[in-house]
Amino acid sequence: MICENLGINHMGNLTLAGRDTVELAKKYQTPLFLMDEERIRKNYRTYIGAMKKYFGDDALPLYASKAASFRAIYKIAMEEGMGIDVVSCGEIYTAKSANFPMEEVYFHGNNKTDFDIKYAMENGIGYFVADSREEIDAIDGISGEMNLCQNIIIRITPGIDPHTYDAVATGKVDSKFGFAIATGAAEDIVKYALSKKNIKLCGFHCHVGSQVFDSDVYFKTADIMLEFIADMKSKFGYETEILNLGGGYGVRYIESDPVIDIEANIAQVAKMVKEKCSELRIDVPAIRMEPGRSIVADSGLTLYTVGSVKVIPEYKNYVSIDGGMADNPRFALYGSEYTVAVANKMNEECDFLCSVVGRCCECGDIIQENVQMPSSVKRGDTIAVMTTGAYNYSMASNYNRLQRPPIVMLTKTGEYTAVERESFEDIIKNDL
């Protein structure tokens, strides 16, 4: 199994957090997102424990909540003592409605509107991660009108290609995100931000990409960022308080993905950061990291029901399910790999090669290609797609006017519905 919270019970059914997924599919109907709350908490604790232990007490992981944003997730993050990243007023609103304290909220995005900026400030947002000169002007202006001095950190592009997919590689010089060190843009914007009266520059952020397995990427990133911090100190006398190293440790979607020891990785990065700081004669900044996927991905799985099995002799076989790109667009978007299984036939031999496709009217509505299943697969069977806790519900749409599935959270003692299934009324809610 790709994650230790998965198993097979005496009935030959797939279990998540020790619970029979086939029974849960019957009880809640499909499509259905299941999440394992203990796994989320364990992942949070891995980051918090390791960061405090190796970087010191002023270090803090921020949950990048675009990975999965709904009230229960913010509540769990708050209980575990995480900070959070948000990327829109909708996420701020959701976090706030779950009573998440706004001081440790970081507002990301390459194009925040004046409305966004005002809304965030009125709600007491901790930090903006500023990503353009226009944004800095707007924050300074609005902050002045409101008689505030707003904390910001600036997004810097260290110029690193983390060898992941292009769609999730964001640290390269030509990225739409950040100010590049290499072109001098980063230095210019620091000077500019320091000249603004209603802004407090608290430090720097960088994020080189997602699904990173290679710890070298973080060494290189930290190395470049610390050199930059030392440079800003010598040029402007500026002392950096916060250095945010970004997110992106990889998770296992398929068997061949490596297992990452996150604690050991953080320990190594911390050692390197401390050595580099002493070499550069700068104080070690308060470190932030912002994992999203590696907090929630392996807590989740999606259950579907098979509707049809179509065999096109000598060409291809299709297994159609009652969900698809509307609840998981990631294969359609960038060919993401997933482990797929027939949850009620876990002990049967898998010798039937097929594509698992959704119910949307779109040829690209594919969940996964080249899946091996038991040849007995048929209408009514339960299909499980593993590791869907991140970027599934949060990317889900109502395409074809399909209702978004519910999220049922499995706990130590039982389960609760964290997000309800959308109703037909929800679908027409905004139609006049």
Ligand X SMILES: *Cc1c(COP(=O)(O)O)cnc(C)c1O
Residues forming the site for ligand X (CB under 6 A) = 64, 66-67, 85, 108, 207, 210, 246-248, 290-294, 390
For the bound state, the minimum distance from the C-beta of residue 319 to ligand X, rounded and expressed in Å, comes to 29
Judged by beta carbon, residue 67 or residue 409, the one nearer ligand X is: 67
Residues 64/91, Cβ–Cβ less than 8 Å: no
CB of 127 to ligand X, least distance (A): 12
Min separation Cβ 61 and ligand X, Å: 10
Residue 34 or 86 with smaller CB distance to ligand X: 86
149, 202, 277, 361: which is the annotated catalytic residue? 361
Strands 60-64 and 83-86: parallel
Does residue 361 carry a catalytic annotation?
A: yes
Q: CB 265 → ligand X: shortest distance, Å?
A: 13
Identity of the residue, 248 or 285, whose beta carbon is nearer to ligand X in the bound complex: 248
Please, which residue, 62 or 354, has the CB nearer to ligand X? 62
**For residues 424 and 401, what is the distance between their CA atoms, to the nearest angstrom?**
9
CA–CA gap between residue 65 and residue 392 (Å, rounded):
12
C-beta of 162 vs 358, nearer to ligand X? 162
In whole angstroms, the minimum distance from the beta carbon of 256 to ligand X comes to: 19
Give the CA dihedral 387, 209, 50, 262, nearest 10 degrees. 50
Q: How far apart are CA 376 and CA 382, in angstroms?
A: 12
Q: Which residues contact 157 (CB under 8 A, 6 or more apart)?
A: 171, 172, 173, 175, 177, 178, 179, 180, 181, 182, 186, 206
Q: Which two tokens stand for residue 237?
A: 């006398």
Catalytic residue positions, numbered: 361
